Structure 1
């Protein structure tokens, strides 16, 4: 038999096998797709706490050999009684090697690869002119990886100062890796998620100006470890801009690094709380943190051309019952190896206040002079008050708590002075806007 005949026979056999596998995984892909829709709808229920009712409905799937066409509607109802229907068109490429991944040289087997576009209704085209696009691979474990992107979207939201404000997001890209909606905890998603956003703008009524975050980057990783949820995340905004009238200021670069380790069931209950009653939500949050939990703000910093100020808050909590607390000292007992650390840079704070003073006509002319005076007063009161120590760049505060024992800047605080020391510390930090 000629070598060419053997080669053609092998290709033919592989072709038949791939076609059969695609047909089989086409059925499996349908099952995974339906499962994904059901899990998504369960998570959308949580939006009711914001008085939004959202649901995926009218799912229609037409299966072919190598791919299936899917359409559905995202039905959204607002607190004002308005109803919107976002239309979706998906192309579901069947595994084990979907054709769209094959053309990209991606040969790892998956159940399906999903290309999706969700478009706004005509009444919202001005708010969302381009569709939300996504390209996701669904694995045999029901995890999915890929990305979603949205060039522009804006919508109205309530303004705490009264009236409405407009939220505007530009160039959103969301990358997912091994992302999974958990069966045991329907409101919890695990895996890695990375976010990039060119800008997030909050446009207030004209006289109130606007605020925007530019160059946003965020990375998050969530995992289930037995009956615990462990989640870490960082957030960076390269610029924080505020505009008011003809004035526009740059407050600098904002960064945050977080870690959370909590009971999975209680966290799932908290995320699934649909009430918009603040008392109900606070109760669910209280139940979450009254069991063994960790909440670490490893770093929260603001950096500008003159320097960097930083805050860290590390809370390690044992299980406790707040009903048994009688005084401030009782609240410290559940805390193990916890700390609050603040480092304020004098030049950084002066530059920050100089920028803020430029927004007000009364302080614009002497913005820098006033900033220096205010910061000098803060630093003096902080060190004279005994809750802060001087450093070569400004001041620092370090409060350490371990099972009721308290240290302030390395000095043990007697039990009878703990409440007074904490009160003075909170008062002092509060006077500096913290």
Structure 2
């Protein structure tokens, strides 16, 4: 009797599992088709505005009771170039407890989970050759019952050789997720090294090595369809070699951008920590920048985001001198309008600080500025007429400034002694003129200056005057400096 009860329970459990797996597979297929339709609609709109799009085509789908096998083709299109195609195969197990995830020790319920791999086709033959026939890209994915998608990306180590240049990549691991309802997303990854070596030339870059790179990008929709974001990029070391100059290296560096939403608008916080630059076997300088833009206009920020995307697309297309991106007159006009739009609200800009550190001294620039609101943007509209308040403080090391200018001259190919002879009298002349005018104060090695603007009044180191008089004063000083 007990055996019959147990057997009946096992059969009931098996039937329930089979039914749940079949239903989960049906849900997974419906979600897959829905997601493809939405993604391709967005890709079409993007292509119409920028000439760049990624469209995904479902080639085949085989759904069983416990598993789902699909094959995709992604078409990457750039205006004026041949469309590039790559294909993937996904093998998924249905929920509520996908077999592959159970085998991996993951007991969380899921609609589907599995693995995917890039397929070898003539279009990606060079990629497979670079990895010595190891699958260049593969990973895992998981779809929960609340339709959240998450997965891993595994890029294999690879080496490309072309036209005398060799690029070696250590491979990369990455993670991505997307919430179905909130559209919040995350993408992060890291890799050990990326190196580039090319045939020596009479001048120019011959090699580059990037070590210990990592990135994180988190996004979520805010009001007015603005994507709020938290981004960070960091590396441990960047080294560059040149044909006619000594190598230059940059130590541990990071940059972070955080776009947040407040009651008064949008705030963009930017932090850059540039590690010590080393050249000619000596430390040159390190830098730190902390900038905060407050009360930004949401519509303008969206337009500016479009411009950023346009820059990437034009950079991919290349075609300019030295492979630099080419922008049409319409591109440049839209960039100018968008920048002015960006500051249309009662924007508040703070720079606390911009700092340069060297063995010779430390220089700091602090800036706090408020702009008046304007109703419409026009090229050049973000000028002095929009200034509500400004306060700036400068603390510059004379020795540090001189050494940075000497370094720049050496980088341009001038001998260090000759560069110092050229630069030193010019720096001393500017300091002497600024001191005579009252714009600058000298304390030991440090050049100090404080400037405040409120409406039409200016205060320079305690000297007060109307704004127009200040501009004339500075103009006269600049003329004397040229003479």
Q: TM-score, normalised by structure 2?
A: 0.63
SS of aligned partner of 2:434: helix
- Residue correspondence of structure 1 range 97-108 to structure 2 within 5 A: none
Q: State the alpha-carbon separation in 2 of the partners of residues 255 and 323 from structure 1.
A: 32
Q: Which residue of 2 aligns with 1:388?
A: 440
Count of aligned residue pairs for this structure pair: 405
Greater Rg over alpha carbons, structure: 2
SS of aligned partner of 2:431: helix
Q: Of residues 229, 235, 256 in structure 1, which corresponds to 2:289?
A: 256
The offset of 1:263, in angstroms, is: 0.8
Checking the alignment, whether the CA contact within 8 Å between 2:160 and 2:168 is kept in structure 1 is no
Unaligned runs of 5+ in 1: 157-161
Q: State the alpha-carbon separation in 2 of the partners of residues 427 and 107 from structure 1.
A: 75
Taking structure 1 as reference, are residues 367 and 422 closer, same or farther at Cα in structure 2, changes over 3 Å only? closer
The offset of 1:314, in angstroms, is: 3.0
- Residue correspondence of structure 1 range 13-412 to structure 2 within 5 A: 26=28, 30=32, 31=34, 35=38, 53-58=52-57, 71-73=72-74, 75=76, 77=78, 81=81, 84-85=84-85, 111-117=148-154, 127=167, 129=169, 133-140=173-180, 141-150=182-191, 151-152=193-194, 170-177=211-218, 179-180=219-220, 184-185=224-225, 188-199=226-237, 206=243, 213-225=250-262, 228-241=265-278, 247=280, 250-261=283-294, 262-273=296-307, 274=310, 276-277=328-329, 278-320=332-374, 331-356=383-408, 358-359=410-411, 363-365=415-417, 375-412=427-464
Q: State the alpha-carbon separation in 2 of the partners of residues 241 and 18 from structure 1.
A: 62
Q: State the alpha-carbon separation in 2 of the partners of residues 95 and 401 from structure 1.
A: 65
Instruction: Note the alpha carbon deviations across 1:270-329, whole angstroms, 9 max, x for none.
Output: 322456432332123223324432333332221112322122333321123799999x9x
Taking structure 1 as reference, are residues 324 and 351 closer, same or farther at Cα in structure 2, changes over 3 Å only? closer
Taking structure 1 as reference, are residues 143 and 290 closer, same or farther at Cα in structure 2, changes over 3 Å only? closer
Instruction: Note the alpha carbon deviations across 1:336-390, whole angstroms, 9 max, x for none.
Output: 2323332201232243244345557764346667766554444323312322122
Larger RCO, structure (CA 8 Å, separation 6 or more): 1
The offset of 1:33, in angstroms, is: 7.0
Instruction: Note the alpha carbon deviations across 1:54-92, whole angstroms, 9 max, x for none.
Output: 53433568678688767453625487x466556667788
Q: State the alpha-carbon separation in 1 of the partners of residues 211 and 366 from structure 2.
A: 30
The offset of 1:395, in angstroms, is: 0.9
The offset of 1:426, in angstroms, is: 7.5
Q: State the alpha-carbon separation in 1 of the partners of residues 240 and 49 from structure 2.
A: 24
Q: State the alpha-carbon separation in 1 of the partners of residues 274 and 172 from structure 2.
A: 23
Q: CA RMSD in A?
A: 5.2
Checking the alignment, whether the CA contact within 8 Å between 2:270 and 2:292 is kept in structure 1 is yes
Q: State the alpha-carbon separation in 1 of the partners of residues 269 and 222 from structure 2.
A: 18
Unaligned runs of 5+ in 2: 111-143, 311-326
Q: State the alpha-carbon separation in 2 of the partners of residues 346 and 19 from structure 1.
A: 73
SS of aligned partner of 2:363: strand
The offset of 1:152, in angstroms, is: 2.6
Q: State the alpha-carbon separation in 2 of the partners of residues 93 and 424 from structure 1.
A: 77
The offset of 1:251, in angstroms, is: 2.9
Taking structure 1 as reference, are residues 56 and 410 closer, same or farther at Cα in structure 2, changes over 3 Å only? farther
